Structure 1
Amino acid sequence: MSQISIILPTYNVEKYIARALESCINQTFKDIEIIVVDDCGSDKSVDIAKEYASKDDRIKIIHNEENLGTFASRNIGVLNAKSDFIMFLDPDDYLELNACEECVKILNKNGKIDLIWFDFLYRSNNTVVKNKILQDNIFSINEYCRYVISHDGLCYWTLCSKIIKKEIYTKAMTLLEYIKTKLTMAEDALMYFFIIQHCKNIQTSSLNIYYYYQNSTGSMLTNNKERIQNYIKQETQIIKIMNNYLKNNKLDTLLCIFLTILIQNIKFGQNERKIQLYKKNYLTYLVYFKLPLKINRKRIILLKKYLKFIFNKKFYQ
């Protein structure tokens, strides 16, 4: 059985998928599984993947019967994964060739790690920027939430640049089985919140192993009014799901704060141009709210320290 399954949800990425697959195939650590989930695109992405699969038996291709979106495609990939740990790779991104090797080194050093969060490299055209956000640390879930808070809400909720214990991911999936709507926006944040709840030990690493490629036609950069309208509806749905879960479950105060920051990321993690289009064209779709945090007396000092940040009115009005 392979030690790591790399899952690529694939939809109309013929320009990039060869680069992504090359970065997987040529990993210095060879005991991996590569799962391509075909989400019924209209280009030659899957044909390219099939060509690679014919030459490397570590590549498995799964075909969706209809277009389901990234959220469902990732979940299908996880259910078909044979490894104990999973890694997601968007096919327009790619990995450093030692990515899996570095993952295994950390896991071998500490067998109790549930999730590893690596730093990443941001690439746009010919420019590469190396992030220097993380340090090498191991956190309990409360320590991790405290770490996020103490770093001014640092919370990269994307599932990429992380390796996750499959058992943890599948537990998170069971909490979201009731969702039938195709999610295309902020689904990473939704899943990440439910994953975090099941983690006991989280490792952060200063190593940059993941190349995040920002192409000019990517969905996050598309300022088409109809798309933005759909994004806002999707974000609103995600926020409602998270908020309802918070109201119906007794969660640790720090985890509540983590969720608050996560939602702030969803609402305000957009470029300035898109924010202006949000305000100008679809203000009526925005939902503003305040999360009801249940204050634990033992945490009152911590909460006072960050109260101004958490309840800053600009985030909720």
Structure 2
Amino acid sequence: HARAEGVKVATSELIMFLDPDDELELNACEIAYNNFDNNCNVLRFKYSLIGFDDNFKLTHPKDYEDFKKRVKKLEYFDFLMWDMIIKKDLYLKCLEFVYKYNLTQVNIAEDIAFNFLIINFSNDYKQIDSKLYKYYQNTSSMTNQKSQDRYKIFIETKNKILDFFNNIYKQQPNITKKEIYYSFYFAICLSIIHDKKELNKNYNIGIKKIFNKFNLSIKKKKINLYKKIRRYMIMLL
């Protein structure tokens, strides 16, 4: 909501975002502006991860061609709003669809919904190697609150985003690319499965111990099922 209200009153043709717990390099705006190509709607740049251990990685595509290859394999979806400079008009166009399909109450993973629209509208983006953004780990942020109530909100919110994807895909076939839809949808489904697993992790621990072997067997079957679903979705593409 803060991003949307900021963009509405911004007077520049181009927009960059900065979360309050992060930093930009001092010359970030200058570098981004000088590299922006008016033939594209979006310029993406790289970033530094600060405060994370070595196991945490964000493996983004090298360029748009790499993005398209990974999307067709259902291996990737864009989800960051702070690694880009974007035309204000494009953001406002995406915002119209957020309002139209009633996604305004979503305040977790809303950047995924925006990226879904941005990629579908843009058809391309430019990417530079400069690290312009400093992304700090924030253990007290909304996303990192891992209580049972929070996981319930995560699941509910992500289901709303799935509905949003479905509505756009069905009602706006002229703007929605099938491979983008499948890749984003598949990623959110996996995320919901993870949240449900975390939600139930500490629930009825005694009963879970009894059914550990049973759960392991079910888990293996689920993994095999997801592999089959993924292969089928790739065939559809």
TM interval, shorter chain, is 0.7 to 0.9
- Alignment of 1:258 onto 2:185: no
Count residues in correspondence.
208
Map Cα deviations across residues 124-149 of structure 1 (whole Å, 9 max, x no partner): 2798x8967443x5x5xxx5762442
- Residue among 83, 102, 117 paired with 2:44: 117
Q: SS where residue 176 of structure 1 aligns?
A: helix
Map Cα deviations across residues 268-295 of structure 1 (whole Å, 9 max, x no partner): 35897x56323546xxxxxxxxxxxxxx
1:106 and 1:262 map into 2 onto residues whose CA distance is 28
1:158 and 1:98 map into 2 onto residues whose CA distance is 21
1:197 and 1:240 map into 2 onto residues whose CA distance is 17
Per-residue deviation at 1:206?
2.3
Maintained 8 Å contact 1:145/1:258: no
- Residue among 249, 252, 263 paired with 2:172: 249
Maintained 8 Å contact 1:114/1:164: yes
Higher relative contact order (CA 8 A, sep 6+): 2
Per-residue deviation at 1:114?
0.6
Q: Which residue of 2 aligns with 1:97?
A: 26
Q: SS where residue 177 of structure 1 aligns?
A: helix
1:259 and 1:111 map into 2 onto residues whose CA distance is 26
Per-residue deviation at 1:88?
1.2
Per-residue deviation at 1:82?
0.5
Map Cα deviations across residues 140-187 of structure 1 (whole Å, 9 max, x no partner): xxx576244267623331211111111111111112223265211111
Per-residue deviation at 1:222?
1.3
- Residue among 232, 237, 242 paired with 2:155: 232
- Residue among 202, 208, 211 paired with 2:131: 208
- Residue among 111, 130, 135 paired with 1:188: 111
Whichever residue aligns with residue 114 of structure 1, its letter is N
Identity of aligned residues (%): 24
Q: SS where residue 185 of structure 2 aligns?
A: helix
TM-score, normalised with respect to structure 2: 0.74
1:201 and 1:80 map into 2 onto residues whose CA distance is 26
How is 1:81-160 mapped onto 2 (pairs within 5 angstroms)?
81-107=10-36, 110-124=37-51, 133-135=60-62, 137=63, 139=64, 143=65, 146-149=68-71, 153-160=75-82
2:93 and 2:2 map into 1 onto residues whose CA distance is 17
Per-residue deviation at 1:193?
1.2
Whichever residue aligns with residue 196 of structure 1, its letter is I
TM-score, normalised with respect to structure 1: 0.57
Maintained 8 Å contact 2:67/2:76: no
- Residue among 98, 103, 106 paired with 1:176: 98
- Residue among 278, 284, 307 paired with 2:199: 278
Maintained 8 Å contact 2:42/2:85: yes
More strand as a share of residues: 1
1:74 and 1:247 map into 2 onto residues whose CA distance is 27
Per-residue deviation at 1:219?
2.0
Whichever residue aligns with residue 181 of structure 2, its letter is L
- Residue among 112, 117, 121 paired with 1:198: 121
Maintained 8 Å contact 2:41/2:125: yes
* CA pair 204-180 structure 1, distance change in 2 beyond 3 A: closer
Maintained 8 Å contact 2:13/2:87: yes
